[in-house]
């Protein structure tokens, strides 16, 4: 292949693949320089390749630094002054000498190198284009096919299979089985461009997954008439979600539950049976705390200090309010952003807690 044919081929690639000729030339220059430095037995110095598409020329230069003749041993990329003077009469110590040379076996090495670089650049460009498309998917819900599971990670095909979603251990729900061939919905956490392949970090544990699933199932959320205020979650076990309606005619809880529980059940099914408490949000933080402790009945809530309160429940509802291993109270605290101390009515009486807020009613858990 002549130089003219070579540059014509690069121009064709620019039209077909949308990769600029300059990108190929820069990559090829570096790759050819590296290849020919290895070929130049015993020679030291760096090789520079200058490619000119307009003139259809490819020129090679050996670059070395001039050192004094008294130097006992040459370092990499150095040349003695006496030898440099034979190449360039005005050379002096410290100069960088650039000497053009004709490489051996040019056609074979150039062809091999060009093929490798072009294939790599095509792959990198396709990967970057795909990453660019997926960069807008961060924070979104996507459906994927489990491709492979190793000792730690789960690998999921996303989109048209061009991008691999990786689910790290912290993003996997304990007890949830990820079998190859299974289709699941995942939350896109972050797009990662490191390495040879485009990777998207996905999760099944983040609260955002629950939010996106409800947005998919509940038209009122997409329309903005029902707003998700906050979510607290212990993946695979229980979620509490606080919602509010922007339209007094719309029942927020009813919208999320759906006819005969169809909407919330669809989300629960996708989450493998995870329990979901749908809580009606309140501007009054003490009322909100009472609702957040659902399914327990709350007698009163008293503010102790900034962002700290005590909730009083009937004696026989104390264990329900606290939950197994403290889960219900813990999720309520995360949902409201308050530190909540749950006490039985008899214990509160001894502390003379009258209750600063008397909740009207507490919605039951779904």
pLDDT tens-digit readout, 193-215: 655 555 789 999 999 999 999 99
Query: What H or E segment, with its residue span, contains residue 279?
Result: strand 275-280
pTM exceeding the 0.75 threshold for the entire prediction: no
Say yes or no: domain 285-366 is CATH 3.50.50.60.
Answer: no
**pLDDT tens sequence for the chain (366 residues):** 567 777 787 787 777 766 777 877 887 777 777 777 666 645 556 888 888 888 888 888 888 889 898 888 887 788 889 988 988 889 899 898 888 887 777 667 666 777 777 777 777 776 676 667 677 788 899 999 999 999 899 999 887 656 788 999 999 999 899 999 999 999 999 877 655 555 789 999 999 999 999 999 999 999 999 999 999 999 999 999 999 999 999 999 999 999 999 999 999 999 999 999 999 999 999 999 999 999 999 999 999 898 999 999 999 999 999 999 999 999 999 999 999 999 999 988 877 765 444 554 443 333
Q: Do domains 206-281 and 285-366 have the same CATH topology?
A: yes
User: Under a CB-based contact definition with an 8 Å cutoff, are residues 277 and 232 in contact?
Assistant: no
Distance in angstroms (rounded) separating the CA atoms of residues 292 and 281 = 8
Q: Give me the pLDDT at residue 277, please.
A: 96
All structural domains of the chain with their residue ranges: 3-133, 146-203, 206-281, 285-366
Summarize pLDDT for 111-169 with one digit per residue, the tens: 677 777 777 777 777 667 666 767 778 889 999 999 999 989 999 988 765 678 899 99
What angle, 0 to 180 degrees and rounded to 10, lies between the N-to-C axes of helices 285-292 and 327-336? 150
User: Under a CB-based contact definition with an 8 Å cutoff, are residues 112 and 177 in contact?
Assistant: no
Q: Give me the pLDDT at residue 161, please.
A: 59
Fold that domain 206-281 belongs to in CATH: GMP Synthetase; Chain A, domain 3 (3.30.300)
Distance in angstroms (rounded) separating the CA atoms of residues 36 and 246 = 70
Q: Give me the pLDDT at residue 365, please.
A: 38
Query: What are the backbone dihedrals phi and psi of residue 191, each rounded to the nearest 5 degrees, phi first?
Result: -95, 130
Three-point CA angle 150, 156, 159, nearest 5° = 165
Task: For 3-133, give the CATH class.
Answer: alpha beta
Give the chain's end-to-end CA distance (angstroms, integer).
72
Give the residue from 340, 335, 341 showing the smallest Cα distance to 365: 335
Distance of CA 121 to CAs 30, 126, 164, 178, Å? 13, 8, 19, 34
DSSP 363: P
Using CA atoms in the order 152, 156, 161, 162, what is the torsion angle rounded to 10 degrees? -50
Q: Give me the pLDDT at residue 361, please.
A: 43
User: Under a CB-based contact definition with an 8 Å cutoff, are residues 308 and 277 in contact?
Assistant: no
Fold that domain 146-203 belongs to in CATH: OB fold (Dihydrolipoamide Acetyltransferase, E2P) (2.40.50)
Q: Which residues of 116-127 are buried (b: 16+ CB within 10 A; e: fewer)?
A: ebbeebeeeeeb
């Amino acid at each position: 292949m002549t130089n003219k044919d070579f540059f014509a081929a690069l121009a064709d690639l620019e039209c077909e693949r949308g990769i600029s000729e300059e990108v190929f030339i820069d990559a090829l220059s570096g790759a050819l320089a590296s290849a020919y430095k290895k070929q130049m037995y015993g020679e030291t110095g760096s090789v520079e390749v200058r490619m000119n598409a307009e003139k259809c020329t490819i020129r090679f230069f050996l670059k070395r630094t001039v050192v004094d003749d008294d130097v006992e041993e040459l370092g990499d990329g150095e040349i003695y002054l006496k030898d440099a003077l034979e190449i360039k009469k005005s050379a002096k110590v410290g100069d960088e000498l650039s000497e053009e040379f004709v490489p051996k076996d040019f056609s074979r090495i150039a062809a091999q190198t060009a093929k490798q670089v072009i294939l790599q650049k095509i792959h990198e460009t396709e990967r970057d284009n795909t990453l660019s498309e997926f960069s807008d998917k961060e924070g979104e819900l996507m459906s994927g096919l489990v491709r492979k599971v190793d000792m730690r990670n789960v690998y999921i095909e996303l989109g048209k299979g061009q991008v691999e979603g990786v689910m790290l251990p912290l993003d996997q729900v304990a007890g949830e089985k990820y079998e190859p061939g299974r289709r699941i919905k995942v939350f896109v956490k972050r797009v990662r461009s490191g390495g040879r392949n485009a990777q998207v970090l996905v999760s099944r544990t983040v609260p955002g997954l629950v939010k996106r699933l409800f947005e998919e199932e509940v038209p009122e959320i997409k329309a903005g008439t029902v707003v998700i205020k906050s979510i607290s979650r212990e993946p695979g076990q229980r979620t509490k979600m606080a919602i509010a309606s922007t339209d007094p005619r719309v029942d927020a809880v009813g919208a999320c539950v759906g006819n005969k529980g169809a909407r919330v059940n669809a989300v629960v099914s996708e989450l493998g049976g995870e329990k979901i408490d749908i809580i009606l949000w309140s501007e009054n933080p003490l009322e909100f705390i009472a609702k957040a402790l659902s399914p327990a009945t709350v007698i009163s809530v008293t503010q102790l200090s900034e962002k700290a309160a005590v909730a009083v429940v009937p004696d026989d509802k104390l264990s329900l309010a606290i939950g197994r291993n403290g889960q219900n109270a813990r999720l309520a605290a995360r949902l409201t952003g308050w530190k909540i101390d749950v006490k039985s009515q008899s214990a509160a009486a001894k502390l003379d807690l009258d209750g600063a807020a008397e909740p009207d009613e507490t919605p039951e858990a779904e």
